[in-house]
Structure 1
Amino acid sequence: MIALSLADVSQAVDGALHLGVGATITDVVEGSVQTDSRLIEPGSIFVAKPGAVTDGHLFAPLAAERGATLLIVERLLDLPVTQIVVADAVAALGDLAGAVVARVRAAGGLRIVGVTGSNGKTTTKNLLRSMLERVGPTVAPRGSFNNQVGAPMTMLEVTVDTRFLVIEMGASSEGAIAHLVRLARPDVGIVLTIGLAHAGEFGDLDATVRAKSEMVTDLLETDVAVLNADDPRVAQMAALTPARVVRFGEYGQVDVRASAVLSGRTGTTFTLHLASGQSATVVFPVLGEHHVMNALAAASAAEVLGVAIDDIVAALEATTRAERWRMEVLGGKDDVTVINDAYNASPDSMSAALKTLAQIGTPGRRTIAVLGEMAELGELAGEEHDRIGLLAVRLNISQIIVVGKAARRMHISTINEGSWDGESAYVDTPDEAFELLRSSVNPGDTVLVKSSNSAGLRFLGDRLGDLFS
């Protein structure tokens, strides 16, 4: 964190300052801000965040022992360390992040990009970071730090030298993105897709649209909204923002587009057309044609921020995977390809992954889809799992292995398709799936492992990758 006095921090979080032994209000803190006591180093700030399972206050003594110089707490603790008592530790974390970003922005030079959407946030964030790093110091989230805790933690990493800040903004309810937008005040807001991911939390698609549109409704006239013109629900957000709109897509009237898209086992080749009229051929190593849209979104924002087309293309061509456990290509032994895409899953991303599998399979060899639960779909879960099972049949996937009771309807849907001459198997656990695959995968087969994170199939994908490496 940038250097702030204890008085400054206390004012930023609207808390009551209780000085530790020998401390004064002018003392400066500038260590890392952590909510995990195991990550505390001498000089760190520990935020005692209440959790669903435990309470951060229980770990405050360990944080103090490890050298924390400041605790942000919801109740005063019997510890000889300076503490700021606040009403809500998570809200205080956000307020502190907002204050830090505002100070750095006021010093001049910091540009901020917010990224949201039902699918593709992390991939787009990673691509954009790679592009912006070629121009200047850039801060972006580690992994999927995109909620009311993760986003502020990313914001707190900025320094006076930071030129670009990329924030991934997820939401579990209406108002969550609006809150993050108010804290960070993006210069560029990206909306990727609107789909059924987390439909169980939002209730319906209309609520999802309202939540995601919060990215652009509070932008200023001097800001830029980057919108996916191929998604009608996103495209209509152009009418909701006062900002300048840059549209990206593969179809219709757009500012940034891809043409001559050709997808294969080693990635996708396409021609990138920027809003400036410049174009270039891109050899994009990331597997899956659907990731071209993420590349377009990142390129749109990068061009707005002054990144040259050569740097944009170089960043895309240097990216070999979307992210750990996202369309990650493993294996290779006996020409067996394992695609580990089991970090998350929604109906849209599951469909895209299956279409990619069907598209890249080696002629004369089998395509095998190992599928687990799509979580957080609420009352739509049953019909959406049915739909994915039917899609796998219609794509003529050679074999389907469904893992776990929550995903069993996919298996039932496939075997009910009497015209299908493929095979579907159901197993209860990833271990059973591994044993089945170990004895049945043939040379040249292509295996997709796809599920939500909670199903745990990403580790099955890793085991298969090791088996065939």
Structure 2
Amino acid sequence: MIALSLAEIAEVVGGQTHDIPDPSVQVTGPVVRDSREVEPGSLFVAFAGEHVDGHDFADAVVEAGAVALLASRPVGVPAIVVDDVQSALGALARHVVRRLGATLVALTGSAGKTSTKDLIAQVLARKAPTVFTPGSLNNEIGLPLTALSATAETRFLVLEMGARGIGHIRYLADLTPPQIGLVLNVGTAHIGEFGGREQIAQAKGELVEALPSVEDGGVAVLNADDPLVRAMASRTKAKVILFGESGEADVRAENVRLTDSGQPAFSLHTPSGCSEVTMRLYGEHHVSNALAAAAVAHELGMSADEIATALSEAGSLSRWRMEVTERPDGVTIVNDAYNANPESMRAALRALAAMGKGRRTWAVLGKMAELGDEALAEHDAVGRLAVRLNVGKLVAVGGREASWLQLGAYNEGSWGEESVHVSDAQAAVDLLRSELRPGDVVLVKASRSVGLESVAQALVEAGTEGEVAVR
């Protein structure tokens, strides 16, 4: 964080100082909520959770070097006490962002947010110091913590924004007002909570409504291939730039193809020129993500060649998102188990089909959460798609939703041993460990709550250590 004194912070957040001998002492280290991340000069944010109360760590974090706590009650060590810690954290982030002078890029969408955020960060880092959301910490706590990790040297701040209802993104954009706002897509993730795609579009579009006008430098980057996103152009006063495969897109891809290993390649066209891209990531769905990143980079002054080079060299920065491991015995494990929705599930299956040409393929799939009344139809459709893509074997893991996956595959023509429903992760590992053979490709994917990353991890370890159980 940029250096601020405890007195300044108290004034910004409307707090009272307690047990602080010298209010002029500055916070020079990171702002953290995890006591294990405290460094000398840190500000520790004490949240009182259901199971853990950060106030209980007051002595330990000060001993570890924290200058003070941001807390909701006095704790006997230096602290700034406020009525609401989360609101205070947001106010501090808003203050710091306004003082930074960095260009703030915010993005949202139903699928691909984290992968796209990672691409944008890697591309912009070629131009100037860049800070970005770690993993998918995109909520009311993670977003301000990320913003506060920026320093005086930061020139680009890339923030992922998630939403579980109307008004969430408006709140986040108020905490950290963006200059560039990117909307990737409107899908069916969390449709059970929102009630429909139109409501999802309403929520995601709050980002472009928060942008400055054209005259003040606001830029809305919108997906030309998604009608609900493209329609958001009417909801902003910012400049609109379109990306996609549509001929009307300002930043577009032509001659899209997949390499033999399933990595996307395409010709990148921008208003400033054209260049060739061959990505290190897996799956054609990353083309749209790459175009979104390219559109942002173009608006920030990078040439087509610079963007193409950066995209071609960018890797995956976040765990369990199309994370590919080649075992010594020739088996390939694709761990995409961080999360799942119908759009990302279809994209992962298509990537598996591309990677598995001439090889035996396995799709180990589990529940897609928060689909509401659409759950049965969407799980059935994914099971059917696995068959249409000629996936060698579908292993549906878990309860009712998994049975719908397997039933969809069965009804599409996957009979005999081509699809199977198993009760849990360990059963899936036991099955695969007994049947995998060199050259096989295994995709593992489900919503985060299912925990199928344990299957992928066990299979990776089994390739070098023999019998491995799910932990």
Give the TM-score of the pair, scaled to structure 1.
Answer: 0.93
Aligned to 1:377: 371
- Aligned residue for 1:287, secondary structure, equals coil
- Aligned partners of 1:116 and 1:168 also within 8 Å: yes
**Equivalent residue letter for 1:395:** L
Superposition CA RMSD, Å: 1.8
Aligned to 1:58: 56
- Aligned residue for 2:205, secondary structure, equals helix
- Aligned residue for 2:308, secondary structure, equals helix
CA 334–46 in structure 1, closer or farther in 2 if over 3 Å, else same: closer
Greater mean alpha carbon deviation, residues 438-447 or residues 395-404: 438-447
TM-superposition CA deviations, 1:159-198 (whole Å, max 9, x none): 1111111111111222221122112221111100111112
Q: How does 1:211-360 map onto structure 2 within 5 Å? A: 211-221=203-213, 222-264=217-259, 265-276=261-272, 278-321=273-316, 323-360=318-355
TM superposition shift of 1:266: 4.5
CA 279–168 in structure 1, closer or farther in 2 if over 3 Å, else same: same
Aligned to 2:73: 75
How far, CA to CA, are the matches of 2:113 and 2:414 in structure 1?
A: 38
How far, CA to CA, are the matches of 1:198 and 1:60 in structure 2?
A: 37
- Residue in structure 2 matching 1:155, options 138, 147, 156: 147
Aligned to 1:404: 398
TM-superposition CA deviations, 1:11-44 (whole Å, max 9, x none): 2112222242x22x33322221111122223321
**Equivalent residue letter for 1:171:** A
TM-superposition CA deviations, 1:237-265 (whole Å, max 9, x none): 01100000000011241101101111132
Q: Do structure 1's residue 117 and structure 2's residue 109 form an aligned pair?
A: yes
Greater mean alpha carbon deviation, residues 411-420 or residues 447-456: 411-420
- Aligned residue for 1:416, secondary structure, equals helix
- Aligned residue for 2:110, secondary structure, equals coil
Aligned to 1:388: 382
How far, CA to CA, are the matches of 1:52 and 1:243 in structure 2?
A: 41
- Aligned residue for 2:140, secondary structure, equals coil
Give the TM-score of the pair, scaled to structure 2.
Answer: 0.93
Name the % identity.
48
Aligned to 1:191: 183
Give the total of aligned pairs: 459
Q: How does 1:451-466 map onto structure 2 within 5 Å? A: 451-466=446-461
How far, CA to CA, are the matches of 2:79 and 2:429 in structure 1?
A: 50
Aligned to 2:30: 32
- Aligned residue for 2:181, secondary structure, equals strand
Q: 4+ residue stretches of structure 1 with deviation over 3 A? A: 320-323, 332-335, 416-422, 466-469
How far, CA to CA, are the matches of 1:203 and 1:36 in structure 2?
A: 35
- Aligned partners of 1:322 and 1:328 also within 8 Å: no
TM superposition shift of 1:314: 1.7
> Which stretches in structure 2 are left out of the alignment for 5+ residues?
465-471
Aligned to 1:101: 97
**Equivalent residue letter for 2:226:** D
TM-superposition CA deviations, 1:399-452 (whole Å, max 9, x none): 100111142221222223457576111112212111211111233222111111
**Equivalent residue letter for 1:403:** V
- Residue in structure 1 matching 2:161, options 169, 181, 184: 169
How far, CA to CA, are the matches of 2:202 and 2:84 in structure 1?
A: 26
Q: Do structure 1's residue 134 and structure 2's residue 126 form an aligned pair?
A: yes
TM superposition shift of 1:203: 2.9
TM-superposition CA deviations, 1:85-116 (whole Å, max 9, x none): 212111111111111111112xxxx1110011
How far, CA to CA, are the matches of 1:194 and 1:263 in structure 2?
A: 25
- Aligned partners of 2:26 and 2:41 also within 8 Å: no
Greater mean alpha carbon deviation, residues 317-326 or residues 266-275: 317-326
